[in-house]
């Protein structure tokens, strides 16, 4: 399949995966992913916006506002408790994953659902969509989410990958800082900029080792999601020496033999195989920096791993770093998610995504 064909297929797959409610399902063909993650959905909205499918992006944001709206009082209470130094258990924190109808997941089989990155990513995508023309009905929800993030950002939570709940994660802090900057611009309230500055100062002090950004405050490994610091969040420059060193580590430590990008060294989920979305994400950065050879390598890799009908999986299990874990996960949950809407979103952003967001006043 060529570039244009996969772009058309990606738009169609994301559109088909959008519920009538406006939510984007994580994957329509994987039993564990039948929910709407704020993070995944926000990247889908950014991708559909880049592809000219603005109606789809707006339906997602309207769904998110309906889902989060009932959480405003809860968010305010959590923020007040945290500001007063009172401990808030993870189960009371806001969920980052909702049912497609916008209600909160519940039940005995519920799995980890406390992540902060989704709310920051959503505020950033909302700002990208509306800019300074935020509908008045959105303001109360934006303020509540920003207040929640400003109070909770030091709280350990699950990372992008639903792991390491006891740690503070660099990619999570980046999403929070970007979300707070977006809230400042949408509301005109500078306090959220001050909060974002505090997050970034902490990140610079605690999440850099040997001149490169690392996975978290307690983890010196590199993670493929760290590309988010520059693209799309614009929190560091594309040529910031710390970021260039981070990208160098991603290429040297996380590349599979064929050039796909893995999440991190030691990952055992489906063998720690290369992820389509991370490979596309790095290629997006390469396109923006003018490294056409690296961009083309990522582009061709993604094209080569598209399935029949242009479906893109979550990861490619033919190149695991820990092969013994592939059959274990397949026995537990079946084959990898295919299609994964976030993979299609990152492919569209690889080809069509704009440069980093800018936060100058």
What are the pLDDT digits (tens) for 132-187?
Answer: 899 998 999 999 999 999 999 999 999 999 999 999 999 999 999 999 999 999 99
This model's pTM is above 0.85 = yes
Q: For 283, how many CA atoms within 13 A lie in the half-sphere containing its CB?
A: 28
Q: What is the pLDDT of residue 80?
A: 97
> What secondary structure letter does DSSP report for 153?
T
Confidence (pLDDT) at 288: 97
Q: What is the pLDDT of residue 361?
A: 58
Q: What is the DSSP string of 292-354?
A: HHHHHHHHHHHHHT--GGG---SB-TTS-SSTTHHHHHHHHH-SPPSS-HHHHHHHHHHHH--
Active site residues: 159, 162, 314
pLDDT at residue 127 is higher than 90: yes
- The widest CA-to-CA distance across the chain, in whole angstroms, is 56
pLDDT 10s digits, 281-305:
999 999 999 999 999 999 999 999 9
Q: Where are the alpha helices (DSSP H) in 3-53?
A: 3-16, 38-50
pLDDT at 203 over 90: yes
Mean pLDDT over 312-324 rounds to 97
Please report which confidence band the pLDDT of residue 109 belongs to, taking 50, 70 and 90 as the band edges: low
Q: Which domains does the chain have, with CATH numbers?
A: 3-352 (1.50.10.10)
Q: Which residues contact 81 (CB under 8 A, 6 or more apart)?
A: 87, 88
202 neighbors 210 (Cβ within 8 angstroms): no
- Helix 191-206 vs helix 139-152: crossing angle, to nearest 10: 30
């Amino acid at each position: 399949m060529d570039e244009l064909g996969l772009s058309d297929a990606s738009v169609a797959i994301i559109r088909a995966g959008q519920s009538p409610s406006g939510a984007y399902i994580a994957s329509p063909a994987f039993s564990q992913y039948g929910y709407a993650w704020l993070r995944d959905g926000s990247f889908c909205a950014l991708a559909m916006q880049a592809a000219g499918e603005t109606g789809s992006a707006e339906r997602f944001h309207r769904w998110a506002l309906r889902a989060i709206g009932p959480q405003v009082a809860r968010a305010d209470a959590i923020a007040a408790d945290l500001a007063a130094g009172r401990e808030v258990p993870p189960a009371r924190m806001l969920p980052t994953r909702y049912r497609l109808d916008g209600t909160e997941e519940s039940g005995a089989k519920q799995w980890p659902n406390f992540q902060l990155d989704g709310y920051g990513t959503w505020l950033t995508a909302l700002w990208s969509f509306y800019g300074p023309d935020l509908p008045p009905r959105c303001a109360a929800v934006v303020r509540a989410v920003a207040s929640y993030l400003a109070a909770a950002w030091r709280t350990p939570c699950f990372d992008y990958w639903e792991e390491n709940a006891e740690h503070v994660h660099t990619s999570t802090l980046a999403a929070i800082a970007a979300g707070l900057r977006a809230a400042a611009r949408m509301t005109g309230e500078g306090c959220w900029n001050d909060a974002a500055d505090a997050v970034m100062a902490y990140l610079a002090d605690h999440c850099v080792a040997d001149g490169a950004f690392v996975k978290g405050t307690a983890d010196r490994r590199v993670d493929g999601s760290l590309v988010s610091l520059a693209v799309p969040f614009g929190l560091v420059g594309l040529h910031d020496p710390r970021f260039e060193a981070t990208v160098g580590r991603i290429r040297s430590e996380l590349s599979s033999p064929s050039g796909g990008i893995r999440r991190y060294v030691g990952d055992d989920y489906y063998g720690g195989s290369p992820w389509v979305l991370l490979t596309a994400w790095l290629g997006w950065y390469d396109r923006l920096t003018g490294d056409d050879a690296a961009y083309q390598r990522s582009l061709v890799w993604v094209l080569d791993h598209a399935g029949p009908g242009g479906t893109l999986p979550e990861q490619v299990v033919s190149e695991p770093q820990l092969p013994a874990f592939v059959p274990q996960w397949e026995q537990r949950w079946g084959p990898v998610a295919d299609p994964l809407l976030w993979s299609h979103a990152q492919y569209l952003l690889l080809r069509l995504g704009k440069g980093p967001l800018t936060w100058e006043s």
